[in-house]
Amino acid sequence: MKDIGSIWNKWDLHIHSDASDGKMNCQEIIDKAKEEKLSVIALTDHHTVKNIDKIKELAKLNDIIVLSGIEFRTEYGQKSVHMIGLFPDNYNDIDLDGKFLTENILNPLGLSESMIIQKGKEADGTKDKSDEYYFKKGIFLVQVDFKTAANLIHQYGGIVTVHAGSKSNSIDEEMKHDGTSKKNVSIYDSLGPVKDELFKGGYIDICEIRNEKDGKEFYKSEFCKPSITASDAHEKSVIGLGSCWVKAEKNFNGLKQILNEPERVNFNNPEILERVESNPLKFIKQIKIKRTANATMNEIWYDNIEIELNPGLVAIIGNKGSGKSAITDIISLCANTHNDEFSFLNKYKFRSPKPYDRSKQIQAQIVWADNSCSDWITLDSSCDKTAHVFTTDYYSIFYR
């Protein structure tokens, strides 16, 4: 059993590498992400995906998920509203690798590498520098049509995030509708017909804001759009700063869940994780079940099984006879809950001496949240009514 449901993990969906204007190579990004205990990151270089394939290969070795991203400059605003396209690894049986994204996203939007290099040369007024130099200069001299880019991103199953709130190059800072100055203009004053159309017309999926107070409830109530925070890291030391917590699968599908359930995003350390950290012996991390060393029975029943458990509320669902009662009884026995009224571990079922005392040949153990373990006990054991009773905090197991 590997699926333990949705749990909270740290995500940072806005990081730049040295392929555009970032100062970190792929290995440095992965090393820092691991240090910051990030589970999911997105590489979102400006108008390029040169490092996407490389960083994903490195991430596999470090149990980190990398989402493919591209940051675009758009035609809106004096300094340009920035938007990001985030893409699944595969869409309609097509692998959306770096080559595919270059040929089917960047090139159709007029963002070919040669064109960007030419823009850099024209602006610099020289021809004797490297293509890399001109490319990195040129990426800030080109822009895309917001709606065209958003439609193309969506065409390949992607998600559009937009800078919002007080963030630089945000849709709110760059597209103010009312008010005569930048100061003292509320987010509500910044509404206008074009911006309203971008939100309500389905061009924008997620708002990337600076912090929790930066319009989160506004976007949710006004446009039904979830908000995230991210580091927008260009230097290694910034990776993870401003990251958010997401309660979902650690992949692109998990990100899609927040579109309909904004409550899956948390900008602070989730309460359940704080409870686990302060009371690790009240939360079960794992159950281990195996045969004893001298087991002689022919059937293989729960041999070398490790079952991960969610620290939140867990439902164990299965057909009749699939082992739900067995799991709950084993947890009760190993946690020493002083309960001998078992529905499965009783003399009429698994503890029946016939045909060969199976309960004496299977043992189990609980692993608590701090990785400490209960003693291995055979399933014919009884709870020690003189010992400490382990109870769980906000932890329940239901079965049907």
Same domain, 63 and 178: yes
Confidence of residue 397 (pLDDT cuts 50, 70, 90): very low
Average pLDDT, the chain: 88
- Burial zone of 319 (CB within 10 Å; 0-12 exposed, 13-18 middle, 19+ buried): exposed
Q: Is the pLDDT of residue 312 over 50?
A: yes
Task: Report yes or no on 3 lying in a domain.
Answer: no
258 and 383 together in one domain = no
Are 101 and 154 found together in one domain?
A: yes
Residue with tokens 């804001």, as numbered in its chain: 209
- Segment 196-202 mean pLDDT: 91
Please name the residue that has the structure tokens 């937009």. 162
Smallest Cα–Cα separation from 392: which of 320, 317, 299, 312? 312
Domain C-terminal end among 244, 268, 292: 268
Q: Clarify whether residues 193 and 309 are in a common domain.
A: no
- Domain edge (last residue) among 212, 246, 268: 268
Q: Is residue 2 part of a domain?
A: no
Q: Does residue 179 surpass a pLDDT of 90?
A: no
pLDDT tens digits for 214-261?
A: 877 888 888 899 999 999 999 999 999 999 999 999 999 999 999 999
Domain membership of residue 274 (yes or no) is no
Strands 8-15, 38-46: parallel, antiparallel or unpaired by DSSP? parallel
Interior angle at CA 357, CA 354 and CA 358, nearest 5: 110
Residue 386: pLDDT over 60: yes
Q: Name the more confident of 159 and 311.
A: 159
Cα angle 191, 196, 202 (rounded to 5 degrees) comes to 150
Does residue 22 fall inside a structural domain?
Answer: yes
Residues 369 and 257 in one domain: no
| pTM for the predicted model, two decimal places | 0.85
Q: What is the pLDDT of residue 13?
A: 98
Residues 304 and 233 in one domain: no
- Which pLDDT belongs to residue 183? 40
pLDDT higher than 50, residue 5: yes
- Give the per-residue pLDDT at 384: 73
Range of 27's domain? Answer: 8-268
Structure confidence at residue 390 as a pLDDT band (50, 70, 90): low
* In-domain check, residue 273: no
Total domain count for the chain?
2
Tell me: do 251 and 146 sit in the same domain: yes
Before 108, cis peptide (omega within 30)? Answer: no
Q: Which of 268, 299, 319 is the C-terminal boundary of a domain?
A: 268
Q: Name the band, by pLDDT with cuts 50, 70 and 90, for residue 324.
A: confident
In this structure, which long-range contacts are made by residues 377-380, counting pairs with CB atoms below 8 Å and at least 24 apart in sequence? 377/333, 377/334, 378/292, 379/330, 379/333, 379/345, 379/350, 379/351, 380/351
- Residue 265: name the closest of 3, 11, 4 by CA: 11
Taking each helix axis as running N to C, give the angle between helix 113-124 and helix 131-138, from 0 to 180 degrees, rounded to the nearest 10: 90
Whether residues 227 and 358 fall in one domain: no
264, 303: one domain: no
The pLDDT score that the predictor gives to residue 400 is: 31
Are 138 and 237 in a shared domain? yes
pLDDT digits (tens, 9 = 90+) for 106-142: 999 999 999 999 999 999 999 899 999 999 999 999 9
Under the banding of pLDDT at 50, 70 and 90, the label for residue 370 is: very high
Considering the domain architecture, whether residues 293 and 197 belong to the same structural domain is answered as no
User: Tokens 């675009």 sit at which residue?
Assistant: 72
- pLDDT digit string (tens) for 8-20? 999 999 999 999 9
